[in-house]
A and B are shown apart, each in its own frame.
Chain A
Amino acid sequence: MPPIHRTPHPRRAGDNAFLAFLRRGLPESRLFPVSLLLLALAALLGPNRQLRSDNFVFYLPASRTLLQLETIEGTKYLPVLPILNTVGKVGGLQEKKDSLRIWFGMVQVELRPDDVKVRLDKDIVNLAQPVRVSNGQWMVPVDFLITVLPRLTHETVEYQEGTNRIFIGDVKPGSFTVRLDPLPSGARLTVQFTDKVTVRTASSNGKWVLFLGDRPIEPVEDAYHFQNPYVNDLEFDDQDGVAKLLLSPTSTGLNFFPVQAEDGKILLADVLKVPAVIAQVASPQATSPPAAPATTSGAPALPGEESPAAPPGPPLPVVVLDAGHGGAETGGRSRDGVWEKDLVAQFVARVRLALLGTNKYRIVLTRTGDVDTSLEQRALAANLAGANYFLSFHAGNLGTASRRIAVFSFHPPTPPASSQPLSPSALAPWARVQEAHLDRSRRLALALQQRLALLSGVEVDLPAGAPVRALRSVDAPAIAIEVGRLAIDTDATALTEPAFQQQVAASVVEALATFEKGGT
């Protein structure tokens, strides 16, 4: 059906009301210089957005587009017309005071201000937050991207909640894991990429910048914070459409020696408190000359060379959260269409936020978005990150109860031949790594089971051993948490309730705290 233009003065999708006002109030010939003047003023007076801004990045197979985010009452919003013009072409629109109709492809989209309902022809899709009109622009909350957009474009959409980037269509972003190890006079940052990356380094505002090339990257975390005397944190930034890592040292006078290995899949970067000449000898493989962080006027206040900003202390424990399945590997399914892969991703998102809220843990996710990640990759991510705890989330048929939780530690199919259990410090075959942690894994399972048992309306089984493949090669205390009942003959409503998921997340936080204190 051809799009129908019903507005008396059709306008180009994406124009805002302010420019429309200028168009009405000024002759066309004067509009251009006035716009230029306003843009120049905005550039001069606006905040410095060289490395960070409130942009949202759309990664498409052949391009990427930045859209400005606006926060309205604590919720992130994006302008709807630029979104649609980014992923396709708006055929026409009709704007009234209380509604906006857009013709996109064969679908008519209707929005109303302060209404959570979006009408797609005769269907209605509910957004998490209402549509807003801000400065003449129709704004939609970010969840529009995952609830409405796939129905309009019929493309796969990969979006990790809370992030400012989305991958649409046949875009396969790479990712990476990070670990920081102490050195005698410094620290070594190891970044393991999923694919080959050509890293280019620079320094800016007291930080080292590692540009990661043109390939789209979806980080497991946007920021890593370290309790290390030499390195404060590592941030991922792609807000200007260019993927990069920003490494913040704790003080000036430190030297930085990045070197790539494994055909570009690994970046080793030493941060050393030694003269550059000595460092070069110590690190003959370094390909880039040392670049001390610049101390420009925009640099953060840094303490003196002799006293590191962060007191020496143990690094934050790393909790690896593993959302089972993903992508084509959907796992189980309920009668009302809830897939195991999606349900466990919700649990992991809540547990992640609850743990981050304590400021006591560094969180690593084994998968972000709806992607198929092999069991080996999950264990590899955990082991490379130096996991202290590994929690794998699953859902399944646990009997007749609508809400039931079972906690499992690893049970080897065949007991170890040796009567002596493997010690955590011993070198073990990859397939038997978890056997060195069985006792601590069992105690962790018990600690969580005891916390979960305090929840009302939830049946909780005693911890059990099971040959869970996802735990087998994890070099840390590891448990699997299965929630039920998720079965094809039952609705999963009881499991998708946010309050229940939040209770489980809080129990995980309490159980880890108890376990760290040595209790079970």
Chain B
Amino acid sequence: MSLRARTLLLLLLVVLAVAGFYLRSLAKRIFIEPAQHAEEAARAKLSQFALQSKRGPSQTAILYFPSLDGGNLLPENRSLIWAESDVDRVRQVVLALAEGSHQGLSRVLPSSTTVRAVFLSPDGTAYVDLANDVLNEFPSGIQTETLAIYSLVDSITMNIPSVKRVQFLIQGQEVETLDGHADLTAAFDPDPSRINSGP
């Protein structure tokens, strides 16, 4: 084989190798990655939809954020355009709490919190299924976990009267505790005594 032929053959092999790698990465982008993220993306889109509801007039919701120094919950008014269904309204309240306080109160949930699903049973129990990213940077402790739970429960039940109690799930499963302290195996009734409504 002449030198020219050998050079051409070598170039052809290099081109084929590069093309092979490109096709492999292209196939991965098209067929594999979207399948992995489709579920979370759909949930995020749904969550965004719940927050950006344009139907109906804007109303004032009262959200309850923890005060670690006071060991209680403090109210904060928030304008929300309520979604039509109570299930979506529950999702709205959870995501509004995850957005954080506008008045510098303590954070309940990380901003990356994903609400995987919400179910409402006929007896008024709302099942709120959170992704396990809720535990990212969560400040572990009895006080922090208790206030986080009642921040959610009181905010949901006091803004959505059809919800009588809230049961939390993480990644679709009933878990023993939130982060090692607070019992999550049962549904929570609202506890207005934790709210500090004073000046």
Q: Nearest 3 A-B pairs (CB), nearest first?
A: A396-B141, A399-B69, A399-B68
Instruction: Determine whether B188 belongs to the interface, using a CB cutoff of 8 Å to chain A.
Output: yes
Cα-based distance from A406 to B67 in the complex (angstroms): 14
Known: A324-B180, A414-B187, A467-B183. A395 touches B141 (CB 8 A): yes
Asked if residues A396 and B139 are in contact (CB atoms below 8 Å), the reply is yes
Given A396-B143, A399-B70, A469-B181, 9 more pairs with CB closer than 8 A: A331-B180, A332-B140, A396-B142, A396-B144, A397-B143, A412-B186, A413-B189, A467-B188, A469-B182
Q: How far is the CB of B81 from chain A (nearest CB, A)?
A: 31
9 residue pairs bridging A and B, Cβ less than 8 Å apart:
A324-B180, A325-B180, A340-B140, A394-B181, A399-B70, A401-B69, A412-B186, A413-B189, A464-B146
Interface core residue of A325, A466, A468 (most chain B CB under 10 Å): A466
Cross-interface CB contact of B144 among A375, A397, A415, A461, cutoff 8 Å? A397
Residues of chain B in range 159-197 having any CB-CB distance to chain A below 8 Å:
165, 176-177, 180-183, 185-189, 191
Report chain B residues within 8 Å CB of A408: 142, 146
Instruction: Determine whether B34 belongs to the interface, using a CB cutoff of 8 Å to chain A.
Output: no
Asked if residues B143 and A413 are in contact (CB atoms below 8 Å), the reply is no
Cross-interface CB contact of B142 among A414, A480, A487, cutoff 8 Å? A480
Instruction: Determine whether A472 belongs to the interface, using a CB cutoff of 8 Å to chain B.
Output: yes
Instruction: Determine whether B149 belongs to the interface, using a CB cutoff of 8 Å to chain A.
Output: yes
Instruction: Determine whether B71 belongs to the interface, using a CB cutoff of 8 Å to chain A.
Output: yes
Q: How far is the CB of B100 from chain A (nearest CB, A)?
A: 16
Q: How far is the CB of B168 from chain A (nearest CB, A)?
A: 10
Asked if residues A394 and B141 are in contact (CB atoms below 8 Å), the reply is yes
Smallest CB gap from A333: residue in B: B140
Q: How many residues of A contact B (CB 8 A)?
A: 37
Q: How far is the CB of A92 from chain B (nearest CB, A)?
A: 46
Report chain B residues within 8 Å CB of A487: 139
Smallest CB gap from B149: residue in A: A467
Known: A398-B68, A399-B68. A466 touches B186 (CB 8 A): no
Cα-based distance from A464 to B150 in the complex (angstroms): 13
Cα-based distance from A400 to B185 in the complex (angstroms): 31
By a beta-carbon cutoff of 8 Å, the part of chain A in contact with chain B is: 324-325, 329, 331-332, 340, 375, 394-401, 406, 408, 411-415, 431, 461, 464, 466-470, 472, 480, 482, 484, 486-488
Q: How far is the CB of B182 from chain A (nearest CB, A)?
A: 5
Asked if residues A482 and B71 are in contact (CB atoms below 8 Å), the reply is no
Smallest CB gap from A396: residue in B: B141
Cα-based distance from A411 to B139 in the complex (angstroms): 21
Q: How far is the CB of B84 from chain A (nearest CB, A)?
A: 29
Interface core residue of B68, B165, B187 (most chain A CB under 10 Å): B68
Asked if residues A406 and B189 are in contact (CB atoms below 8 Å), the reply is no
User: For the side of the interface on B, what is the size category?
Assistant: 20 to 34
Cα-based distance from A355 to B107 in the complex (angstroms): 39
Asked if residues A414 and B68 are in contact (CB atoms below 8 Å), the reply is no
Report chain A residues within 8 Å CB of B182: 466-469
Report chain B residues within 8 Å CB of A467: 146, 149, 182-183, 188
By a beta-carbon cutoff of 8 Å, the part of chain B in contact with chain A is: 67-71, 139-144, 146, 149, 165, 176-177, 180-183, 185-189, 191
Known: A329-B180, A400-B69, A467-B149. A486 touches B186 (CB 8 A): no
Asked if residues B141 and A397 are in contact (CB atoms below 8 Å), the reply is yes
Report chain B residues within 8 Å CB of A488: 139
Cα-based distance from A494 to B181 in the complex (angstroms): 23
Known: A325-B180, A406-B71. A414 touches B140 (CB 8 A): no
Report chain A residues within 8 Å CB of B139: 332, 396-397, 487-488
Asked if residues A398 and B189 are in contact (CB atoms below 8 Å), the reply is no
Q: How far is the CB of A208 from chain B (nearest CB, A)?
A: 40
Q: How far is the CB of A480 from chain B (nearest CB, A)?
A: 6
Report chain B residues within 8 Å CB of A461: 71
Report chain A residues within 8 Å CB of B177: 375, 469
Asked if residues B71 and A464 are in contact (CB atoms below 8 Å), the reply is yes
Report chain A residues within 8 Å CB of B180: 324-325, 329, 331
Q: How far is the CB of B107 from chain A (nearest CB, A)?
A: 11
Report chain A residues within 8 Å CB of B67: 399
Q: How far is the CB of A417 from chain B (nearest CB, A)?
A: 11
Q: How far is the CB of B125 from chain A (nearest CB, A)?
A: 10
Asked if residues B189 and A415 are in contact (CB atoms below 8 Å), the reply is yes
Asked if residues A472 and B183 are in contact (CB atoms below 8 Å), the reply is yes
Report chain A residues within 8 Å CB of B185: 431, 469
Cross-interface CB contact of A406 among B142, B186, B191, cutoff 8 Å? B142
Q: How far is the CB of A342 from chain B (nearest CB, A)?
A: 14
Q: How far is the CB of B46 from chain A (nearest CB, A)?
A: 28
Interface core residue of B71, B177, B189 (most chain A CB under 10 Å): B71
Asked if residues B186 and A413 are in contact (CB atoms below 8 Å), the reply is yes
Report chain A residues within 8 Å CB of B68: 397-400
Report chain B residues within 8 Å CB of A399: 67-71
Report chain B residues within 8 Å CB of A470: 181
Asked if residues B141 and A484 are in contact (CB atoms below 8 Å), the reply is yes
Q: How far is the CB of A331 from chain B (nearest CB, A)?
A: 6
Interface core residue of A396, A414, A480, A487 (most chain B CB under 10 Å): A396
Cα-based distance from A401 to B143 in the complex (angstroms): 14
Smallest CB gap from A469: residue in B: B183
Cα-based distance from A331 to B139 in the complex (angstroms): 10
Cα-based distance from A388 to B180 in the complex (angstroms): 24
Report chain B residues within 8 Å CB of A472: 183
Q: How far is the CB of B110 from chain A (nearest CB, A)?
A: 13
Report chain B residues within 8 Å CB of A400: 68-69
Cα-based distance from A324 to B191 in the complex (angstroms): 26
Cα-based distance from A412 to B165 in the complex (angstroms): 13
Asked if residues B165 and A414 are in contact (CB atoms below 8 Å), the reply is yes
Cα-based distance from A398 to B145 in the complex (angstroms): 11
Report chain B residues within 8 Å CB of A468: 142, 181-183
Smallest CB gap from A407: residue in B: B142
Report chain B residues within 8 Å CB of A431: 185
Smallest CB gap from A483: residue in B: B141
Cross-interface CB contact of A469 among B70, B144, B176, B189, cutoff 8 Å? B176
Asked if residues B165 and A332 are in contact (CB atoms below 8 Å), the reply is no
Asked if residues B165 and A466 are in contact (CB atoms below 8 Å), the reply is no
Cα-based distance from A325 to B188 in the complex (angstroms): 24
Smallest CB gap from A481: residue in B: B142
Q: How far is the CB of B20 from chain A (nearest CB, A)?
A: 43
Report chain B residues within 8 Å CB of A486: 141
Report chain B residues within 8 Å CB of A415: 189
Q: How far is the CB of B196 from chain A (nearest CB, A)?
A: 13
